[in-house]
Amino acid sequence: MKTARKSKVVSLSEAASLVKEGSSLAVGGYSMVRKPSAFIREVVKKRVGNLTLFSNISSYDTDLLVGAHLVKKAYLCHVTFEYLGLPPNYRRAAEAGEIQLVECDASLLVAGYLATIEGLAFHPVSSVKGNDIVKHMDLVRKFTSPDGEEMTAVSAIAPDVAVLHVPEADEYGNARHLGGILFDANIFAAARQVVICADKIVSVHVTESEPWCTTVPCYYVDAVVEAPFGAHPCACPPLYGHDEEHLMGYLGAARRTISGESPQAFAEYLEKYVYQPKSIYDYLELVGGVEKMEKLKKEGRA
C-alpha cells in the first residue's frame, strides 16, 4: 500500500511543547543573528522553567529567558547585544547568583557536541590551556592518552531540544541557511530533538533544485514551524536586519526595572510582547507591522 510522506510542519505552540520543565535547550544562531526569537517567546509564554540553556553566542534569546526566570543553569560562551550594550537580565541574575553559570568556550561546547555526534563518551580538546574557563567548566574531564600525555576532554553533550531559525525550510525538515551556519552545524546533530523555525516554508522542489543549499538534512529534524520574521528583533540574513529600535526598547525596559527607576517596565514588556499576542502576526503588528518589516528588509541588505 502506498503511503504519503509525512509533513513535519506543526504550530509554534506545538513545537514549543517539546520543551518541558527541566529540559536542556540548545539555541542556534549567534549574537543578534538568526535567533529563533518567536520560539523563545512561546517557551516564555508557556512559562516552562528550570531550563538548562546551551548557546555559543547569544543575546535577546538568553536575556529574555533569564529575565522571565526560566533558566536554572546555562552553558554560554558569549552573551552580548554588541554595540547596544550588555545583557541586563543576564548580568543581574549572574551577579545575584540566581542562575548557575558554567564557564564555557566554543571549543569546549563543540567538543561536547562532537562526542555525541561521533557516539563517544567524551571528546578531547587541546586548545584550552591555562585559562580559568577550563578550571570551572563542569563537563571537563582529564585523562591520560595512550601515549602517556595528560589531556583535557569534554563529556558528551546531548541537549533535549535544539531550536534553529533559518530563512527557508521545506515541510520535511530540510533547512536552508542561505549563509553561514556557524555553530548551528554542531547543535542540530547533537540534540535529541530538533525544531526548525523558518521564515518561509518552501516546496520540496526548491530543495531538490539546489540540494547543495541544504544545511540541515531532514532526517535530523522533528518539527518544522513557519515563523515569518521569526528572528525579530534579531536579524535573519539575507532577508532582514535586526530591529535596533525594538532592541533599545527591550534593553531600556530591563534596565529601568533593574535600576528600580520603573520596577514594572520589564513585566510590562513581557505582558505586551510575549504573553498577550495570540499569534506571530499579532506580534508583528505590535512591533510595527508591514512598514517596519519592509524597513528591516532594506537595512539587512548589503
Partner 1 sequence: MKKEGLTYSYKELMVVVLARDIKDGEVGHVGMAGGVPAAACMLAQRMHAPNLTTLVAGFVNPKPRALYPYGGDYRNFEGSEAIESGYQVFSYTEASLVDFMFYSGIQIDMYGNFNLTMTGSDVTRPQFRGPGLPNSGLAATAGRFYLYHEAHTKRNLVKRVDFISGTGNIDGPDGRRKLGIHTEGPRLCVTPRAVMDFDKATGRMRLKSVHEGVSLDEVVQNTGFELLMPKAVPVTPPPTDEELNVLRTELDTLGILR
Peptide bond into 238 cis (omega under 30): yes
Kindly state the smallest distance separating residue 109's Cβ from partner 1, in Å. Answer: 9
Interface with partner 1 by CB under 8 A: which range of 65-73, 183-191, 201-209, 218-226?
183-191
Written as one string, the DSSP assignment of 42-108 is HHHHHT--SEEEEEEEESHHHHHHHHTT-EEEEEEEEE--GGG---HHHHHHHHTT-SEEEE--HHH
Under rule CB under 8 A, residue 127 binds partner 1 = yes
Whole-angstrom distance, CA of residue 63 vs CA of residue 190? 24
Q: Nearest distance from residue 135's CB to partner 1, in Å? A: 9
Binding to partner 1 (CB under 8 A) within 229-248 occurs at 235, 237-238, 241-242
Letters for 22-61 (x = contact with partner 1 by CB under 8 A, - = none) are --------xxxx----------------------xx----
d(CA 257, CA 40): 21
- Confirm or reject binding of residue 147 to partner 1 (CB under 8 A): no
Distance in angstroms (rounded) separating the CA atoms of residues 130 and 140: 14
By CB under 8 A, the count of residues binding partner 1 is 57
Assess 182 for contact with partner 1 (CB under 8 A).
yes
The burial class, CB within 10 Å (0-12 / 13-18 / 19+), for 99 is buried
Query: Would strands 193-202 and 175-176 be described as parallel, antiparallel, or unpaired?
Result: unpaired
Cα 213 to chain centroid, rounded: 21
Touching partner 1, residues 73-112 (CB under 8 A): 76-80, 82-83, 86-87, 90-91, 94-97, 100-101, 103-107, 110-111
For partner 1, which is the closer residue by CB, 8 or 155? 155
Residues that bind partner 1 (CB under 8 A): 30-33, 56-57, 76-80, 82-83, 86-87, 90-91, 94-97, 100-101, 103-107, 110-111, 114, 125-133, 136, 179-186, 235, 237-238, 241-242, 300-302
